[in-house]
Structure formats: C-alpha cells, structure tokens
Amino acid sequence: MAPAIVDDIMVKLENPTVKWITVAACVGGGGYLAVKMSLFRKNPFQVFSGKTGAMAKNLVDSGISSYNEFFNQEDGKGVGDKKLSTPEFVNKFYSLITDFYEYGWGESFHFAAREVGESFEKSIIRQETAIAETVGLKAGMKCIDLGCGVGGPLRNIVKATGAHVTGITINEYQIERNKLLNKAAGIEDLSDVVCGDFMDLHKVFKPNTFDAAYSIEAMCHAPDTAAIYKQVFKVLKPGALFSSYEWLRTNKYDPNNKLHVDVVDGIAKGNALPDVRTIEDCIAAAKSAGFEVQYTFDRATTGGVPWQAAMKSARRAAYLTHILTGVLEFLRFAPKGTQAVHTMLLKAAVNLEKGGDLGIFSPMYLIVMKKPVA
Ligand SMILES: C[S@@+](CC[C@H](N)C(=O)[O-])C[C@H]1O[C@@H](n2cnc3c(N)ncnc32)[C@H](O)[C@@H]1O
C-alpha cells in the first residue's frame, strides 16, 4: 500500500505545476518553522508588527528621533543639565525596546556571570538568586524590586525564596507584560506590580514598608544616585538590606583615553543612562542616603565566561533580526522607525562588548547596603 502511494506522488511530482507548488510549500513551511521555532525565541512577525508593542505605530519614528537627540552625548559628560528629564526618556526608551529585549534576550533584562559549561538561562537565574541571598530573602518577607522590567527576575526570585515581591517600573507596557506573565507563572499571590517613577517612591509606598529591596541593572537610569538611594531608604524598615547590581565604570577607565570615553558614552546613549558612575560615586551616595555600606563586589570578575560573551554568541541572530526589521518596515508591516531602534541596540551591544573586553565597564557591580536599626 505505502509504495503505491509513493509511486502515485512521484508521478504527480512529474507535473511541473505540482512540483513547483510542492517546492514552494516545503520552502515556505520550513522557513516558517525555522523562524518560529529555532532561530528566534518569539515570533518576529508578531513582535515587530506593532500589534504587541508598547508604542503606537505612528509614534515609533518620532520616538526614536527624539530619544537619539536627548541622549546624544559625545564628550564624557552624560546628558548634562537635562538630567532631571531622564525618567521621561527612559520610559520612551523602554516603550521602544521592550519587545526587542524580550524577543532577543528573554524575560530577564540583565547580564550574568557565567561558569564554563553553564547555560545562559541557568546563569541568569543564578545571578538573580545570588542578589536575593545578599538581602537574606525568605518566605514571609516583603521585598521591593526596583526597576522590574517585564518581571523575569521577580518571578524567579519569588519561586526560589517564597518571599512576596513588589515590582516597580516606569513603563506601563512592562506592567501589562508582568501581569500576564506573573499569572501564567502562578505567582500572583506572592507578587504585585506598580507603574511609577522610583525617584518618587515615597508617593507610592508608606515609610518602613519593606523588609528588603533589590535592584538589577536599573539604578543606572536614575538621574541622581543619592536621591534614588534616599527614596529606597525611606520605604525600608530599620535593619533591612538593599542590594543593587550597578552599571559602573571600573578603575581601568581612563578619562584621557578617547576610546574609553567613546565606548562608555556609547553605552550610555544606547541604554538610556544619564551618565556612567563609579563605585566610589555609589558608596558616597549610599552613605549620604543614610545607609551603612556592608560590602561591594564586582561580580563581572567571577565565572569562566565573560558576561559580554552572551552578546557575541547572539550576534548572528541580531544581524538576522536587523535584516528582518528592514524588510518588515519596507513592507509596512513593522512601524516606520523600527530598524532605527534596532540600529541603536546593535550599536549599544557593540559598545557593551568593547567595555567588557577592555574591562572598563561592569553591568553587575554589587553594592549591599543596610538601613541602620536606630
Ligand atoms: C535594564 S532594565 C532591568 C529590568 C529588570 N531589573 C531585569 O533585570 O529584568 C531597567 C528597568 O528599570 C526601569 N526604570 C528605569 N528608570 C525608572 C524609574 N525612574 N522608575 C521606575 N522604573 C525605572 C525600566 O522601566 C526597566 O524596567
């Protein structure tokens, strides 16, 4: 029976029309499966169509132009006197790039120290549980995640510790994603999400509300480190710990070296940072906020695989995405400006890699602080 069917198909395939329809169906179906299942974590047609995006289609082009203008900084001075408007542009940045990050990187928008042989996903979770350990998080405690993104770390930390975590982000679209993903993960009872500016935490939460706080690669967006640390200080209970993975210039950074200055400026511009600080800046900010600094530690110096290696291995997919965004934009399927957003992210990735390779920049300089008991 089977051979008869095969014979029948072979005869039909001799007909040129049938043959070309079959070839087209195989190529189309194979391409679709490759796009959907292997090359990309999310379906690019859905992601870049503007159907799931954070920003109205007609605003993407002007959004990326005004963002680029605001963060156009060339001389190692950050955004200068425009600092106070940073949160508004950070919000615009995340409206433009949240889908790209989630699509290309995953639900956790941060880097990780990685051991040789460890998967990217495992290293991300280890990075998250490590910060939870530094604040002694466990079941029964109430914690705040400052700058929670779409909640990848929050979900993993809730699952690992059993603590209750409230996430805050300035970006409304990220709140939508959090709600959806937290529900799917079954952690609604142990989590909460709030849309707001963490520079105004005292307007959202009462003083002495939380038993612990952590922030993963988010304090770097604050226009003023001492001011944001002061906000966190207020909402913590006495004796509570606050840990942050900071994006910092290391002591290898030389302000007289043009390459160093250009790379760090490129990191700031491509990631919506008002400037890039040092660990000394953070320690001084912590003390002026009233915290006792317990310890600081550059986690980028640990692990056998440098944190920036994950970007190098994702580069091929990133270039494919770049071509795809151009094609989708040309076909008017993706909003005008989509490829410009991706160009910004590609440049940011190149500078981050260079910063890591030169050792002048760390995205995971840990600082652990304590609110004194009395
Ligand atoms: C690089 S992402 C990190 C997200 C998350 N911590 C993670 O690792 O997945 C930075 C986050 O900080 C948030 N953020 C930046 N500035 C903020 C502000 N002024 N108030 C509240 N959230 C802010 C952004 O919306 C974004 O969610």
Task: State the distance from the centre of ligand 1 to the C-alpha of 214, rounded, in angstroms.
Answer: 12
Task: State the distance from the centre of ligand 1 to the C-alpha of 145, rounded, in angstroms.
Answer: 9
Residue 261, ligand 1, Cβ within 6 A? no
Q: Which atom of ligand 1 is nearest to the CA of 152?
A: 9
Residue 153, ligand 1, Cβ within 6 A? yes
Closest CA to 360 of 217, 245, 225, 254: 254
Closest CA to 249 of 238, 260, 235, 236: 260
22-26, 113-117, 340-344: which is most confident? 113-117
Residue 147, ligand 1, Cβ within 6 A? yes
Report which protein residue has its CA nearest ligand 1's atom 26: 149
Per-residue confidence (pLDDT) for residue 13, from 0 to 100? 65
Q: What is the pLDDT of residues 27-60, one digit of tens each?
A: 666 555 555 444 455 666 666 665 556 677 788 8
Work out the burial of residue 117: count CB atoms within 10 Å of its CB; fewer than 13 is exposed, 13-18 middle, 19 or more buried.
Answer: exposed
Per-residue confidence (pLDDT) for residue 32, from 0 to 100? 55
Residue 167, ligand 1, Cβ within 6 A? no
Q: And the tokens for 368? A: 């652990």
Residue 101, ligand 1, Cβ within 6 A? no
Residue 87, ligand 1, Cβ within 6 A? yes
Residue 338, ligand 1, Cβ within 6 A? no
Residue 107, ligand 1, Cβ within 6 A? no
Q: Which atom of ligand 1 is nearest to the CA of 216?
A: 6
Task: State the distance from the centre of ligand 1 to the C-alpha of 245, rounded, in angstroms.
Answer: 12
Instruction: Pick from 148, 307, 345 the residue to mutate for probing ligand 1's pocket: most ligand atoms within 8 Å of its CB.
Output: 148
Task: State the distance from the centre of ligand 1 to the C-alpha of 38, rounded, in angstroms.
Answer: 29
Residue 47, ligand 1, Cβ within 6 A? no
Task: State the distance from the centre of ligand 1 to the C-alpha of 94, rounded, in angstroms.
Answer: 8
Higher per-residue confidence, 216 vs 102: 216
Report which protein residue has its CA nearest ligand 1's atom 14: 147
Q: Is the pLDDT of residue 119 over 60?
A: yes
Q: What is the pLDDT of residues 162-196, one digit of tens each?
A: 999 999 999 999 999 999 999 999 999 999 999 99
Residue 108, ligand 1, Cβ within 6 A? yes
Confidence tier at 68 by pLDDT (50, 70, 90): confident
Q: Is the pLDDT of residue 361 over 60?
A: yes
Q: What is the pLDDT of residues 278-321, one digit of tens each?
A: 999 999 999 999 999 999 999 999 999 999 999 887 777 788 78
Higher per-residue confidence, 192 vs 270: 192
Confidence tier at 263 by pLDDT (50, 70, 90): very high
